[in-house]
Amino acid sequence: MTYILALDQGTSSTRSIVFDKEGNIVALAQKELTQIYPESGWVEHDPVEIWQTQLATAREAIAKAGLRAADIHALGITNQRETTVVWNRKTGKPIHNAIVWQDRRAEPTCAELRAKGLESIIQDKTGLRIDAYFSATKLKWILDHVPQAREQAKKGELAFGTVDSWLIWQLTGGQKHVTDVSNASRTMLFNVHSNEWDAELMQALDINPAMMPAVLPSSAEFGAVQAELLGHAIPICGVAGDQQSALFGQACFTEGMAKNTYGTGCFMLMHTGTKFRISKNGLVTTSAAQTGPQTEYAMEGSVFVAGAVVQWMRDGLNAFKKSSEIEALAQSVPDSGGVMLVPAFTGLGAPYWKPDARGTITGLTRGSTMAHIARAALDSIAYQSAALLQAMSRDAVAAGAKPLAELRVDGGACVNDLLMQFQADLLGIPVVRPTMVETTALGAAYLAGLTSGIYRDQAELSALWQVERRFTPQLPAGRAEELMANWEHAVRQACTD
């Protein structure tokens, strides 16, 4: 048997999964990650904890599989994107906590960039909108607020990286400071046409190019794990940001194929092939995982709060003790009874881009119960995703492409049948859940397997993808349109402007 180890470093937890050649899970290890909230709207992680939990789960997964590190043919990495780490090259120690993708502290810097008229320049070069979501303004904040950081950066003493770069630095003992195109494309500093760090954008944010990692295709040789860490020098052969990795793991390799990942947030990506398109409907353009020098792109929409709304109901409202209990509670009522919950806890992402929006519950009556709110919470995940797909379809049609025929789904919340059926009802197209829903880690394993020779090509990977259940629309199109109109009304009420 041939085995691949995938490191899956996420927002709420760190995981390691051993896959066999057929893409089946042999063993899985997981540890929760501490969430740090220094101020309202700020979210941080301890980079040392990220590394320690990743190493611990890697060792545990190999042991659970009954294997030795020498049995692992290759290693792949997938990670929470945009989260920003800066460390000292000599000591290998971070100079500040990692600033997480959800963090909004850099919004004033974004406002300054918009005021300078850089919106179209940044979008043309990077495919992204100016937003605190992306890494560039988080990096600038660290350089501006950590004592001596700017001086150290000018001397070439500091390294910047997204989480993949930080892990590779640690795994290789500081031998490799690298990233892949999919992670680089989420920084707001990377020119996705030339696949290079953009000098003009670096200058606009006063960032020393010496801080930046080398950029490789997603399927490439990224170095090798130091033998003393796991017991063998496993080659690192695949790296991709979690959402591009999930797109790859879903075998969405060609133009027009799309997936939606239901996790802490929701992330919908549609492969657009080698065509770079600027969205006219509030989406961003991003680099897809690349298996070679050919640039490939995807349209992406990001929902900031999806599964996190279930955690909020559990921890904030004490509506239930386990997140899994929400489906039964929501199913105890036929619908939300007119209740609308807009979970804009950290503003609204695509396609609205309203950073000042705040969470609201509307439509409450004397007859409303916690069950109705639970139903509205689940519905909000589907509504936000439907808004993304509608925007994506408008962009596709405008570009002369066909509308989406089906949506492949993955992530923790996709196991919720009630949510998936409502999603299909709102979209008016089938929602397809694969047998293997751990597609984020699987994508990293596939990328590593291609580089290391386990797989011949993408056609071999496509043959491994299998359907577990297909949810077909059961709601009349007119009713779905009416529900979406009610949702858009609720969104307007959540916005301050």
Q: Judge whether residue 97 has pLDDT over 90.
A: yes
Task: Provide the number of structural domains found in the chain.
Answer: 1
Does the structure show a pLDDT above 90 at 305? Answer: no
Does position 388 have pLDDT exceeding 80, yes or no?
yes
Q: Tell me the C-alpha distance between 354 and 132, whole Å.
A: 12
Q: Which of 185-199, 221-235, 318-332, 438-452 has the lowest mean pLDDT?
A: 318-332
Question: What is residue 182's predicted lDDT score, i.e. its pLDDT?
Answer: 96
- How far is the first Cα of the chain from the last one, in angstroms, to the nearest whole number? 59
- pLDDT at position 1 is 66
Average pLDDT of the chain is 92
Q: What does the pLDDT average to over 137-146? A: 96
Helix (H) or strand (E) holding 347: none
**How far apart, in whole angstroms, are the C-alpha atoms of residue 189 and residue 166?**
18
pLDDT band at residue 352 using 50, 70 and 90 as cut-offs: confident
Phi-psi region of 484 (alpha: psi -120 to 50; beta: other; left: phi over 0): alpha
Between CA 223 and CA 219 the distance in angstroms is 12
Report yes or no on 372 lying in a domain: no
Domain that holds residue 123: 3-241
Residue 248 structure tokens: 């790859």
The length of the chain is 497
pLDDT at 207: 94
**90 assigned to some structural domain:** yes
What is the mean predicted confidence (pLDDT) over 257-286?
A: 88
Residue 86 lies inside a defined structural domain of this protein: yes
> Which two three-digit tokens encode residue 354?
């309203």
| Angle ∠(265,257,130) on CA atoms, nearest 5 | 45
Calculate mean pLDDT across residues 288-301.
91
| In-domain check, residue 374 | no
Cα distances (Å, whole numbers) of residue 296 to 214, 283, 443: 19, 17, 16
Report the pLDDT value the prediction gives residue 455, as an integer from 0 to 100: 94
CA distance 137 to 146: 14
Distance (Å, whole) CA 473 – CA 407: 12
CB 86 within 8 A of CB 96: yes
Average pLDDT over residues 20-39: 93
Of all helices (H) and strands (E), which one includes residue 86?
A: strand 85-88
Q: Is residue 495 part of a domain?
A: no
Domain CATH for 114: 3.30.420.40
Can you tell me the mean pLDDT for 202-226? Answer: 95
- Range in 109-113, 207-211, 276-280, 286-290 the model is least confident about: 276-280
Half-sphere exposure of 25 (CA within 13 A, CB side): 17
Beta bridge partners of 9: 14, 79
Tokens of 404: 């989406």
Please check the confidence at residue 496 and state whether its pLDDT lies above 80: no
Residue 9 lies in a domain: yes
| Domain assignment of residue 400, yes or no | no
